[in-house]
Structure 1
Amino acid sequence: MALSFKFDTEPINQVLFGGNSSVKLVILNRPHKLNVLNFEMVSQILKHLRMYEDDSSVKLVILKVFAMPEAHIGYFPDVGASYFLSRLPGYFGEYLGLTGTRLDGIEMAACGLATHFVHSTKLNALENALQAITSSNVSTVSALIETFTEKPTVKQDSPFKRLEIINKCFSKGTVEDIIQSLENELENGAEEKWITNTLSSMRFSSPMSLKIFLKSIRKGRIENIEECLYRDYNIACHLNRRTVSNDFYEGSRAKLFDKDKA
C-alpha cells in the first residue's frame, strides 16, 4: 500500500541565525513540526557552526526549543540519549525514554539534564547579558548564568518525586516485565492516576521503538558517548530504510503530517 503524505508549508527560514560578533544565536524555527530537524536545518546549522569555530572573535553560541517525540512516532530517543539518559538518577532515564514524558525546567535541573534553572521572566535579561560577554571561559559563562539562577522546589506531582516506584518498575529487564510490574503496582492500589497515564503512554508508542530504546539505554550505561552515537546512527539507518518495520513512516504520517493520530 502506497503512503501519501500531506506536507504543510514550511517557513522560509527553518533556522534563524543572529547575535553579534562575539555571541551567536541559533534558533530552531519549525514549531508546527515540534522543531524536528530535517536535512536542510542540519546543513544550515553545520555550516554556521563551522564558520563560528573558525572565527576567533566568537566566544559563545546560544541554541534555542528542541523536542524528542521519538517513541510516539515509531522512532527512538537518539542523538546520544542512551548516554545521557542512562546517567540520570536510578532508572529515571528509562522512564523518560519509554514514556515520552515532558519535563519542565525545574525537573530538568533536579534530575541533572540541565545545569541551571532560570525563570522565564529572566531569560531575556540573561540572553542580553550573555550577548555582552567577551570571554569563552566556561567558568566565566557559568558564573554569569549563576547570577540569574533560582533553586525552586520540584512539585509534589512531578514524576521525579516518584523515583522509588520508577526504580522498582523500570529496572526490569524487558518492556513486558516493566508493564507487568506497573500493572502489579496498580492492582496493589499504588499511584493509580500516575501509573494509568504511564501505561497509556507506553501502549500508545511503537512496541518496537520501546524495545530498541530499552536495549540501547542499557548498553549506554557502560559505553562512552562515541559508542552511543555510533549505535544511534546505525539504528536510525535501519529505521529509515524500513529494514524491520514501517512504524517510523506510519508514525510520522499520523503525528506530524496527516495528524490523525491513527
Structure 2
Amino acid sequence: MAHSMFSQADQVIFQDILGGRKVILNAPKKLNALGYEMILQMFENLQTYEMDPTVKIVVLKAYGKVFSVGGDLVAAWKIIPLAHWSVVATYYRKVFTLDYLLATYKKPMVAIIDGAVMGGGVGISIHSTFRIVTENTIFAMPEASIGLFPDVGASYFLSRLPGFFGEYMGLTGTRLDAAEMLAVKLGTHFVPSQKLQSLEKALEKLVASSNATCLATMSIVINKFAQEVKVKPTSPISRLELINKCFSGDSCEEILFSLERLPMEVKEKWIHNAITSMKSASPIGLKIFLRTIREGRSKNIKQCLETEYIAISHFLRGTVSNDFYEFTWN
C-alpha cells in the first residue's frame, strides 16, 4: 500500500552526456515534489555516478517553472491514516540518506536552480559545488508553517549563514531572491535563465574535451555566463545588525519579544512579516528548530541529519506534538 501511494514513474530523468550525467526532476505538474521512488532512483544513480571514473560532472536541474517545493507531503497525508507512522519515517530516512550522499559527494555537481526551491529541494541542491540561480529563483525553508521544522540538514547549512541570519530564515520562513542568496552564499553564480541552455552546452563541451576537468576550469566557464546582481535596499540582509540583535535571543519568546519591542521608526515590512510568521507557525516546531540550529553550529552534517531525523520521527509519532497533523489537515 505504501509503495503504491508513493509511486512515481519517470519523474526523474537520468541523462548521459560525454564525460558526465544529468539528473532532471520531471514532475512539473506537482511542482517537482520529491516522492519516495524519485528519492530511491536518485540515490541509486548518484551513488553509481560517484564511483564511475568516466563521470567528471553531474548536473542537477528541473523541468518546469519550479525547481522543487520539497517533499511530497500530499502522498504522506494520504498514507498516514492508512499505515503506521514509521512508513512515512522511512521516507524521511531515505531523504536524509540522499542528502548526506550529496553533502559528501566526491564529484563536482552543478545545481541549476531556475525557480522556487524549498525544503527537500534545498536539501538536494544546497551542497552542490556550483549553485546557479536566476531571476526566477526563490529560496525558503517554510516547514514551521505546516507544523514541522526546517530539516534536510537545515541545522547545518542555515547555522553557517552570517550572524543569526539562519535563525531568522528558519523561524520566519522568509523567502530570498537570487541576489540575496548570493549575498549569504546560498548560491554561487547568477546566470539569466535565457543563458542556461548555452551554459549547459559549454559545460558539456568542457568535460567532453578534457580527461581531467578541474573545478577552476569549470568556474571559468560558468563565469563567462554569470552576471552581478545587487541586493535591493529594502532587503533584510541590509539589516543584519538588527537581525543579529533580535534573533540571538535564547528562546523563541525572547526573539519575538525583541521584534515586537523595536522602536516604531524601525518597524519595517520584514519585521512585521517576521512577527506574523512566527505567531502563526507551530510553536514546538520553532522551538525545535532554534535548538537544532544552535547545536548545529558545532556539529557536522551527519550529526545534524541524525538529530533532525530523530526529531521528525517524534513529530510523525505524535510524541511531542500533533502540530503536523493539525496544521496540515485543518
- TM-score with structure 2 setting the length: 0.69
Give me the whole-angstrom Cα distance separating, in 1, the residues matched to 2:324 and 2:168.
Answer: 21
The CA deviation at 1:234 is: 1.5
The CA deviation at 1:137 is: 2.3
Choose between structure 1 and 2 for higher RCO, CA contacts under 8 A separated by at least 6 residues.
1
Paired AA for residue 299 in structure 2: E
Match of 1:127 in 2: 200
Farther-moved stretch of structure 1 (175-184 vs 11-20): 11-20
Q: Are 1:14 and 2:11 an aligned pair? A: yes
Give me the whole-angstrom Cα distance separating, in 2, the residues matched to 1:75 and 1:31.
Answer: 24
Paired AA for residue 234 in structure 2: D
Give me the whole-angstrom Cα distance separating, in 1, the residues matched to 2:289 and 2:203.
Answer: 36
Contact 1:11 1:29 survives alignment (8 Å):
no
The CA deviation at 1:139 is: 2.0
- Aligned equivalent of 2:296, options 220, 224, 228: 220
Residues 163-202 of structure 1 aligned to structure 2 (within 5 Å): 163-185=240-262, 187-202=263-278
Cα deviation 1:198-217 (Å, max 9, x = unaligned): 11112221111111101110
- Aligned equivalent of 1:61, options 43, 58, 63: 58
Q: Are 1:162 and 2:239 an aligned pair? A: yes
Local SS of the residue matching 1:24: strand
Give me the whole-angstrom Cα distance separating, in 2, the residues matched to 1:43 and 1:71.
Answer: 26
Give me the whole-angstrom Cα distance separating, in 2, the residues matched to 1:235 and 1:28.
Answer: 28
Match of 1:234 in 2: 310
Aligned length: 247
User: CA 1:165–1:32 in 2, change beyond 3 Å: closer, same or farther?
Assistant: farther
Residues 77-156 of structure 1 aligned to structure 2 (within 5 Å): 77-134=150-207, 135-156=212-233
Match of 1:257 in 2: none
Paired AA for residue 43 in structure 2: L
Farther-moved stretch of structure 1 (189-198 vs 162-171): 189-198
- TM-score with structure 1 setting the length: 0.85
Identity level (%): 51
Give me the whole-angstrom Cα distance separating, in 1, the residues matched to 2:35 and 2:175.
Answer: 22
Local SS of the residue matching 1:62: strand
Cα deviation 1:97-129 (Å, max 9, x = unaligned): 111111111111111112222222222211221
Paired AA for residue 216 in structure 1: T
Match of 1:75 in 2: 148
Which sections of structure 2, spanning at least 5 residues, go unmatched? Answer: 62-66, 69-117, 120-141
Give me the whole-angstrom Cα distance separating, in 2, the residues matched to 1:73 and 1:32.
Answer: 21
Contact 2:8 2:37 survives alignment (8 Å):
no
Give me the whole-angstrom Cα distance separating, in 1, the residues matched to 2:328 and 2:41.
Answer: 23
The CA deviation at 1:181 is: 0.6
Give me the whole-angstrom Cα distance separating, in 1, the residues matched to 2:21 and 2:155.
Answer: 29
Give me the whole-angstrom Cα distance separating, in 1, the residues matched to 2:247 and 2:28.
Answer: 32
Contact 2:171 2:278 survives alignment (8 Å):
yes
The CA deviation at 1:58 is: 1.4
Farther-moved stretch of structure 1 (43-52 vs 25-34): 25-34
Cα deviation 1:162-190 (Å, max 9, x = unaligned): 212111111111111111111001x5331
The CA deviation at 1:251 is: 3.2
CA-based RMSD: 2.3
Give me the whole-angstrom Cα distance separating, in 2, the residues matched to 1:212 and 1:122.
Answer: 41
Give me the whole-angstrom Cα distance separating, in 1, the residues matched to 2:21 and 2:326.
Answer: 37
Match of 1:256 in 2: none
Farther-moved stretch of structure 1 (65-74 vs 81-90): 65-74
